[in-house]
Structure 1
Amino acid sequence: MDYRPIIEKINHHKKQPNLRYVLKEKVEGFTNRLFYTLFDSDTPVAENLEDLEKEFDAMVNLACWEVDKPCKMLWDNYVVKLPEILESLNLDAEAIVSCDPATLSIEEVYMAYPGFYAIAIYRLAHELYKTGFPLVPRLMTEYAHRQTGVDINPGAQIGKSFFIDHATGVVIGETALIKDNVKIYQGVTLGALYVAKDLQKTKRHPTIENNVTIYANATILGGETVIGAHSVIGGNAWLTDSIPPHSTVFHTPEIKIKTSSNV
């Protein structure tokens, strides 16, 4: 068979000259090495930092398409933030141990909790996102999404001692603001009330104040929606308006019991 006409048509429709999927593979390898460098006791930090710098340079060459931006300076600015990120992640792990009675040890949190892994990759990606280098952070959090079922946009702002329990199905949008000591459960969505491209630069996702607990499958939408401090949001709740501090919001199911007279 003569493949030449097919090849010509495929090449004609390949319209993204910068679309190199090897970047995804490199980001995944970089993310794994970075996680091990911070947490694994058998991983030598000094050697790995040198390897991470080389891997980062390779990603920059693939992903930094705007030649007028100083992408080569990104690593130096990023690596000095790693101790601070690790300190914050240790607080997250301690929060999980404190809140979850099923936790047998803090080592279990680091190795077995998908919520912690998703938070860790988010925090590592968020620091890069702040530098104005968005693609690699997005690939990092999407890698964690595939691993855990937790979708945290690297642009979200998340405070200290954050806890995601059970994890699967959690969605946290780009402009969400989550303050300190917040605990959320599986299936929670912190999303946008409206989806339109012209809203890209506006705050579309909610603000969660300190010490809030949000139970499973609750949905909180809108950039102007603020969940007041020390509030509890019950499972399956739907919120598009702000609530004051110390509130309790819950969904009341309608229960009908079958009897012989109403069957």
Structure 2
Amino acid sequence: MPSSLIDLLKKTHHAEWEATPSWHDATAWLDDLIHFLFPSNNLPKKTSYEGILKKNQIDLENILLSYLDPKKIAIEQKVASFYDELETIYKNLRLDASKIHEYDPAATSVNEVIVSYPGFYAIAVYRIANNLSILQIPVLPRILTEYAHGKTGVDIHPEATIGVPFMIDHGTGIVIGATSVIGKNVSIYQGVTLGALQVAKELYNTKRHPTVGDNVIIYARTTILGGDTVIGENSVIGGSVFLTKSVAANSQVFNTHQLRITTRGEG
């Protein structure tokens, strides 16, 4: 192997390592936090709740110290701010789970939603990552949402704005872009994309993704594009719709493509 390649690898690896948290440590911290909030069949002892949470807090602080400069970023303050919001995150996730249970006829209980629904898991990781993103923690929020993306097939950017409650049903193939704004009581089904009309680096600080009003339902495989596109509140967007323009409140939008069914052998 040429020495020039070794030198290049050493140089780039060192620079990237210094600017990036450990994927293993980040996802282990996330798994521990979600298990603490939703312990499924392994309930902590009452006396251990404080200790578990404190360890999780120390783990987050150590992750941030591993790649951020405490002289430039107030790490302890940001960690404290995150855990100050954890009760709100938990309460919002309970509302998300309750909405999924209420609207999905296949869900037998809120607990079933929490322990087994990939859509709920994706929302849970998003809400945790979004809070870190609001605190202007770099890189880590995206690692967390991409971890959930790999496990669930749901791609939610941590900088998206999503109201409470929020329902994802099935979930596979959903994409929610960074500047998307989603209101309260919105339901989204598998294969939905809230995307940009144009992908260009110079649009970084531009709203590129749609706004979805309160109480909207978007059915499977629908694509809605553009930062100026607004789906008005109380609207229903049917399956396999392609939208690049706004829709007024209380609208119903359906794909009018007609199927043709004949008996075999007929013209």
Q: TM-score, normalised by structure 1?
A: 0.92
Tell me the SS of whatever aligns to 1:121.
helix
Is 1:92 the counterpart of 2:73? The answer is: no
Is 1:11 the counterpart of 2:7? The answer is: yes
Is 1:185 the counterpart of 2:189? The answer is: yes
- The alpha-carbon deviation at position 19 of structure 1 amounts to 2.6
Name the stretch that deviates more: 9-18 or 32-41.
Answer: 9-18
In structure 2, the CA distance between the partners of 1:51 and 1:259, relative to structure 1 (3 Å rule), is: closer
Partner residue, 2:238: 234
In structure 2, the CA distance between the partners of 1:33 and 1:9, relative to structure 1 (3 Å rule), is: same
The 8 Å contact of residues 206 and 224 in structure 1, kept in 2 or not, is answered as yes
Structural mapping, 1:149-160, within 5 Å: 149-160=153-164
Partner residue, 1:28: 27
Partner residue, 2:51: 47
Is 1:136 the counterpart of 2:140? The answer is: yes
Partner residue, 2:86: 82
- The alpha-carbon deviation at position 53 of structure 1 amounts to 1.9
Name the stretch that deviates more: 159-168 or 62-71.
Answer: 62-71
| Distance (whole Å) between structure 2 residues aligned to residue 22 and residue 131 of structure 1 | 16
Partner residue, 2:207: 203
| Distance (whole Å) between structure 1 residues aligned to residue 8 and residue 27 of structure 2 | 30
Name the stretch that deviates more: 45-54 or 244-253.
Answer: 45-54
Name the stretch that deviates more: 36-45 or 87-96.
Answer: 36-45
Tell me the SS of whatever aligns to 1:75.
helix
Tell me the SS of whatever aligns to 2:191.
coil
Identity rate, percent: 42
CA displacement 1:110-164 (0-9 Å, x = unmatched): 0010000000010011011001113111111111111111010000000011000
| Distance (whole Å) between structure 1 residues aligned to residue 151 and residue 265 of structure 2 | 51
Name the stretch that deviates more: 199-208 or 63-72.
Answer: 63-72
Q: Any unmatched runs of 5+ in structure 2? A: none
Q: TM-score, normalised by structure 2?
A: 0.91
Tell me the SS of whatever aligns to 2:185.
coil
Tell me the SS of whatever aligns to 1:12.
helix
The 8 Å contact of residues 21 and 140 in structure 2, kept in 1 or not, is answered as no
In structure 2, the CA distance between the partners of 1:66 and 1:203, relative to structure 1 (3 Å rule), is: farther
The 8 Å contact of residues 60 and 72 in structure 1, kept in 2 or not, is answered as no
CA displacement 1:216-255 (0-9 Å, x = unmatched): 0100011110000110111110001000011111112233
Q: Aligned AA for 2:148?
A: A
- The alpha-carbon deviation at position 18 of structure 1 amounts to 3.8
In structure 2, the CA distance between the partners of 1:128 and 1:243, relative to structure 1 (3 Å rule), is: same
Name the stretch that deviates more: 229-238 or 68-77.
Answer: 68-77
CA RMSD of aligned residues (A): 2.0
